[in-house]
Structure 1
């Protein structure tokens, strides 16, 4: 019979919900995927985010989470990787406009012909791309790392059993999936999708700029974070 600390249980439940619904890179990723690729891809992206929780949970339960959190270079490395990933996502979203500027109209016609040849391949790889985009976004998110490390080191007691800790981890992963799956469903409702089809190009441009800007902001703030321990 598990000895459950009721205060600890409620604290984990409430803190997790507040952390999950707070805006961040995960929310931006699910929103972009859902609006531009549809509900199924948005839910797969949410599943990828949920699956990435296991990465943070694994090193935290192994005792490496506190070590990582106490070494500023580990957090900054994760921030660099996360920032570069966001910048890459932003550039990828803006790539059609970049190609339109760099290449002339003839090369664009050629690329349009070749686009039909790879359309089938894109349909096959699209689902995997949505999952792994969500997975990478959360795995490289220092906010999630610090949240889980802080939760397990400050809120969850050292006397809590491993089975209970795994239960907390499963709850955190499930909360992430349910919330972002709900976001994906809301953003792909019929009324919203009708408007998305009209402004699809501009939505991709805006989300691309936002992700690239967020990544650049993280890079700019890094030197200031390095000096503070």
Structure 2
């Protein structure tokens, strides 16, 4: 029989839920993917986010988490990589408008984009793209790193067995998938998707600006 600390168990459960539902890069990523690419890609993105938890869990259980957290250069490196990734995603979403401004043909670009929307929707997307986008977003998120390290160093007892620690890690990953999976399903409901078809270009712009701003904020924080 496993000797489970009830206070520790409830603490991990509640802290994880609060951390997961708080807005951040993962939420922006899942929203963009689900709204613009559909439910399947949204769920794959959610799966990628949850699988990325294993990266943070692995080095934490190996004892490297505290070493990383106490070395400023590791945190800064992860922060810069995560920030550049978000900025790149944001600029990619805004690139049609940026290109149109430089070419002084914004109206023509928008018309072409509107005409190509139907064909783009019918084109098969690479399933791996949505998965790896979610994976990279979470794996390069320094806040997730600090969350996992803090949880295992301050909340979870050092007397906990490896099996229990792995169970906590599995729980954290499952909560990520369930929450972001629900977000993806809600954003791909029939009612919302009808509005998405009308405002697709503006959704792309807003999410692009949001990701760029998140990246810049992470870069200068």
For normalisation by structure 2, the TM-score amounts to 0.91
Match of 2:178 in 1: 178
Query: 2:15 and 2:101 mapped to 1: Cα distance?
Result: 47
1:3 positional shift: 1.1
Gaps of 5+ in 2: none
1:103 positional shift: 4.0
Query: 2:150 and 2:80 mapped to 1: Cα distance?
Result: 21
Query: 1:220 and 1:164 mapped to 2: Cα distance?
Result: 37
Match of 1:23 in 2: 23
1:100 positional shift: 2.3
Match of 1:76 in 2: 76
1:97 positional shift: 1.4
Match of 2:41 in 1: 41
Query: 1:12 and 1:216 mapped to 2: Cα distance?
Result: 31
**CA separation of 1:124 and 1:189: change in aligned 2, threshold 3 A:** closer
Match of 1:149 in 2: 149
Match of 1:220 in 2: 220
Query: 2:57 and 2:25 mapped to 1: Cα distance?
Result: 19
1:76 positional shift: 0.9
- C-alpha RMSD of matched pairs (Å): 2.2
1:172 positional shift: 0.2
Gaps of 5+ in 1: 222-229
Query: 2:145 and 2:171 mapped to 1: Cα distance?
Result: 16
**CA separation of 1:46 and 1:164: change in aligned 2, threshold 3 A:** same
Deviations 1:91-133 (A, max 9, x none): 000111122233476x97xx99xx8xx979x6252x1110000
**CA separation of 1:124 and 1:90: change in aligned 2, threshold 3 A:** closer
Match of 1:123 in 2: 124
Match of 1:53 in 2: 53
Work out the number of aligned pairs and report it: 214
Regions of 4+ moved over 3 Å? 102-105
Query: 2:169 and 2:214 mapped to 1: Cα distance?
Result: 28
1:101 lines up with 2:104 in the alignment:
no
Match of 1:204 in 2: 204
Deviations 1:39-84 (A, max 9, x none): 1111100000000000000000000000001111111111100100
